[in-house]
Structure 1
């Protein structure tokens, strides 16, 4: 039996996540089909315009993290590009938006249908949906994701055996294919992949259901406005507040100290 707490949350509390779990193999197959069959131009386009990019989260060494998705702040990426008039080096907003629609319809129709179904029945509770891949050797430095209005669910799609895990406070948590790991990312954490294979999950950010909807929408709008001003290619997912502060290191260290004290 797993134990849960304020930052490691029981996914069964969120029944709407079951729609993603029920379709996890289809979602995984769409991802693998895309990776294997997309042209070089399609791959470049995807990582140019569909990938949330962070300027604050740092890694140890040269191993990389890659991400791309189809939903940001409750909007499909084509609508999000238009709403924020994102200017890319090689594409204007209209061109980027149209290309994003083509990619989604060609490669990710099933995932899009799941998102639409859940957000229709749950009043837009799903905010961000993107694929996140940890490449071999990845070690991400301690950071936070300051999103007090949302939880982050990871649906395991491709998870190799071995040491690929999320360290958060005093716990080391693992992903499992076809299952959600749900975290409150406001707590300091540092994931890694010490295997020789890629690990890919579907990241699903969603509003905390126990918070008033008008309150979280207002917070999200203010936060995204600031993040898009700082870095439009973050797609509102990452921001300067992700950088761990001194108190975050203290909180992380204290969690380990308390665990060591109990062991002793």
Structure 2
């Protein structure tokens, strides 16, 4: 039986995730179709433009993490780019928001539809929705995602057998295809993929439903403003305050665990 606590949360507490979970195979099919049929230019565009970049979260070795998605801070990707006037020097003279719109509509209509239906029924509770892929051998150094206004759900889409897991505080948690793993990711964590295959999940950040919405919106606006100034290509998802602090180890008793010491 699954054991839940203050950072490993029971997905059944969040019924607004049900539509995405019910459509997980369709969402996976859209992802795999895109990866198999999109042109090299489209694949490069998705990863360069439609995915959040972090200057803080580091990995060990040369294995990569890649991400791209359709919703950021409650806005569809093309609207987010336009609203924040993000410029992409590698695409001179191109209408980047229009290109993102076309790619999203061409390859991810069912995912977009599920997001829209959920946000229509639950007052725009979904904030970020993107695909996250761990390439073989990935080992992410210990960090936090300092988003006190949201929790993060990971919907398993492609999960190989073997040691691909999330280490958070005292737990080692695993993804499963068709299921949500929900975390308060402001707790220190370090995931890895020690298999020879890629792992892909749908990352879903959502407002904490037990907090006053006006407070959460204000917090999101403050975080996004700060992060976009630090790094506009973060899409407001990552920031400098994602760095783990010494007190995190002390508070959760991690300083005495050798593998966490190495991760720091």
2:8 is aligned with 1:4: no
Q: Which residue of 1 aligns with 2:232?
A: 232
Describe how 1:203-218 pairs up with structure 2 within 5 A. 203-218=203-218
**Residues 1:2 and 1:220: Cα distance change in structure 2 (over 3 Å):** same
Q: Which residue of 1 aligns with 2:98?
A: 98
CA RMSD of aligned residues (A): 1.3
* Cα displacement string for residues 50-72 of structure 1 (whole angstroms, at most 9, x for unaligned residues): 01000000001110000000000
Describe how 1:41-52 pairs up with structure 2 within 5 A. 41-52=41-52
**Residues 1:179 and 1:159: Cα distance change in structure 2 (over 3 Å):** same
Tell me the secondary structure at the aligned position of residue 87 of structure 1. Answer: coil
Q: Which residue of 1 aligns with 2:125?
A: 125
Q: Distance in 1 between matches of 2:92 and 2:20?
A: 33
Q: Which residue of 1 aligns with 2:27?
A: 27
Cα deviation for residue 44 of structure 1 reads 1.1
Q: TM-score, normalised by structure 1?
A: 0.95
Q: Distance in 2 between matches of 1:243 and 1:38?
A: 35
Q: Which residue of 2 aligns with 1:79?
A: 79
Q: Distance in 2 between matches of 1:256 and 1:12?
A: 33
1:170–1:255 Cα contact (<8 Å) kept? no
* Cα displacement string for residues 144-175 of structure 1 (whole angstroms, at most 9, x for unaligned residues): 00011100000000000000000000000000
Q: Distance in 1 between matches of 2:136 and 2:142?
A: 18
**Where does structure 2 lack aligned partners over 5 or more consecutive residues?**
258-264
Q: Which residue of 1 aligns with 2:56?
A: 56
Query: Aligned residues, how many?
Result: 257
Cα deviation for residue 249 of structure 1 reads 2.7
Q: Which residue of 1 aligns with 2:163?
A: 163
Tell me the secondary structure at the aligned position of residue 52 of structure 1. Answer: coil
Tell me the secondary structure at the aligned position of residue 91 of structure 2. Answer: coil
Q: Distance in 1 between matches of 2:155 and 2:80?
A: 23
**Residues 1:57 and 1:93: Cα distance change in structure 2 (over 3 Å):** farther
1:170–1:256 Cα contact (<8 Å) kept? no
1:155–1:202 Cα contact (<8 Å) kept? yes
1:85–1:93 Cα contact (<8 Å) kept? no
Q: Distance in 2 between matches of 1:202 and 1:135?
A: 15
**Where does structure 1 lack aligned partners over 5 or more consecutive residues?**
258-264
Deviates more, 1:89-98 or 1:47-56: 89-98
Tell me the secondary structure at the aligned position of residue 140 of structure 1. Answer: coil
Q: Which residue of 2 aligns with 1:185?
A: 185
Q: Which residue of 2 aligns with 1:148?
A: 148
Q: Distance in 1 between matches of 2:55 and 2:229?
A: 13
Q: TM-score, normalised by structure 2?
A: 0.95
Q: Distance in 1 between matches of 2:184 and 2:46?
A: 28
* Cα displacement string for residues 201-229 of structure 1 (whole angstroms, at most 9, x for unaligned residues): 00000000000000000010011000000
Q: Which residue of 2 aligns with 1:68?
A: 68
1:81–1:93 Cα contact (<8 Å) kept? no
Cα deviation for residue 248 of structure 1 reads 1.8
